[in-house]
Amino acid sequence: MGREQTMSDPAERARLAKAHAFALGFDLVGIAALGPTETAGAFDEWIGAGYAGTMSYLERGAEKRRDSRRPLPGTTHAIVVALDYGGKEPSGPVARYARGEDYHDVMDERLRALHARLQADAGRSIAGKPYVDTGPLLERDLARRAGLGWFGKNTNLINPAIGSFFFLGALVVDLELAVDVPFESDRCGSCTRCLDACPTDAFVAPRTLDARRCISYLTIELKGEIPPEFHAPVGEMLYGCDICQDVCPWNVKFARPLRVPEFAPRNMIATKDARALATELLAMSQEEFSAAFKGSPMKRAKLEGLKRNAAVVLRNTAALPALQQRAPE
């Protein structure tokens, strides 16, 4: 087959796009046609119930989330990728996803490189844009349609070969590509481990999370004070929460060691337990914080938010010895 003929075949183009994505280090790749979002109803109900709390940007983008062609008009297909962030690494006060460099930057750079390779293959410019949590796309919906996994009861997208400790991203393009078969089966079965393990009872039903109760929301997204009823359940979690993924049998069995150097924990985090890290954060100036957390996703909570979390964690860890002494009662 000549080059021109090869590049006019959607199946061959899809094969090449996937080969490029794997060569760039992505762990899963699938292709979906853009169009009306199947789970838009679930999203609207979720917003309507108030479960998004103060994350008003989600509601603002609701219209565009109903159809994945809307964020970048003219685009027709998405190459959806997943990048594993090392679920086998030990749990700790900072959720695994946030210990190293910001995943938005790491994924965005790789998706841009993928876009450049597609254009080089085609010998022309192709309209397209990478999305990594950076626009009004329901990424888990798109990923399921591209065959990457199912919606777990903990709401995370789970893949039967690698579990759920991965980021999602998509390169939307104006290019016809052969699509993958959507992931139709539900492999959770009768398991309820994630629902039972959540310290704040944040799941109102399987696959429905009241974000206002989730430690990830409370320690990252919420501005202002964490409501007192959640102080004890936050435990030693300074930033984010991995509990409902840690207990999932698919992660227990298939989570992998960290392979992406950019996600290795920065020094500030690697060497400290919750108490030491909380103490250091509380004493930090804005300048020290900016230097120590340059390029970190933890900057999202700002120093003020991290100090708020640190105070809760310090209170919780200080109370532990006293509680342990009372155990024989």
Inter-CA distances, 146 with 49, 141, 156, 168, 184, Å: 28, 9, 15, 12, 11
**Residue 126: closest CA among 71, 172, 170:** 172
Helix (H) or strand (E) run with residue 78 in it: strand 77-84
Q: Quote the least distance from Cβ 151 to ligand B12, whole Å.
A: 4
Q: Quote the least distance from Cβ 58 to ligand SF4, whole Å.
A: 16
43 contact choice in ligand SF4, ligand B12, none (CB below 5 to 8 Å, kind-dependent): ligand B12
State whether residue 116 is helix, strand or coil.
helix
Query: CA 249 to CA 152: how far, in whole Å?
Result: 11
Nearer to ligand SF4, 145 or 153 (CB): 153
191 contact choice in ligand SF4, ligand B12, none (CB below 5 to 8 Å, kind-dependent): ligand SF4
Query: CA 254 to CA 321: how far, in whole Å?
Result: 35
Residue 27 falls in the annotated catalytic set: no
Interface positions with ligand B12 (CB under 6 A): 39, 42-43, 46, 55, 58, 95, 97, 132-133, 137-141, 151, 154-157, 164, 166-169, 207-209, 211, 214, 216-217, 221, 240-242, 244
Please check whether residue 93 is in contact with residue 237, taking contact to mean a CB–CB distance below 8 angstroms. yes
Amino acid, res. 159: N
Exactly one of 133, 186, 196, 246 is catalytic; name it.
133
263 contact choice in ligand SF4, ligand B12, none (CB below 5 to 8 Å, kind-dependent): none
Interface positions with ligand SF4 (CB under 6 A): 152-154, 188, 191-194, 198, 200, 202, 209, 214-216, 241, 243-244, 247-250
Nearer to ligand B12, 16 or 107 (CB): 107
Q: Quote the least distance from Cβ 85 to ligand B12, whole Å.
A: 8
Nearer to ligand SF4, 75 or 155 (CB): 155
Q: Quote the least distance from Cβ 103 to ligand SF4, whole Å.
A: 17
Nearer to ligand SF4, 6 or 54 (CB): 54
Nearer to ligand B12, 138 or 277 (CB): 138
168 contact choice in ligand B12, ligand SF4, none (CB below 5 to 8 Å, kind-dependent): ligand B12
SS (H, E, C) 194-253: HHHHCCCCCEEECCEECHHHCHHHHHHHCCCCCCHHHHHHHCCCCECCCHHHHCCHHHHH
Q: Quote the least distance from Cβ 301 to ligand B12, whole Å.
A: 11
55 contact choice in ligand SF4, ligand B12, none (CB below 5 to 8 Å, kind-dependent): ligand B12
Q: Quote the least distance from Cβ 230 to ligand SF4, whole Å.
A: 9
Q: How many helices (H) and strands (E) does the chain have?
A: 16, 8
153 contact choice in ligand SF4, ligand B12, none (CB below 5 to 8 Å, kind-dependent): ligand SF4
Please check whether residue 28 is in contact with residue 79, taking contact to mean a CB–CB distance below 8 angstroms. no
User: Tokens standing for 328?
Assistant: 């024989």
Nearer to ligand SF4, 75 or 251 (CB): 251
Query: CA 156 to CA 218: how far, in whole Å?
Result: 18
User: What per-residue string of b and e applies to 124-134 under the rule 16 or more CB within 10 Å gives b?
Assistant: eeeebbbbbee
Which residues are catalytic, by number? 133
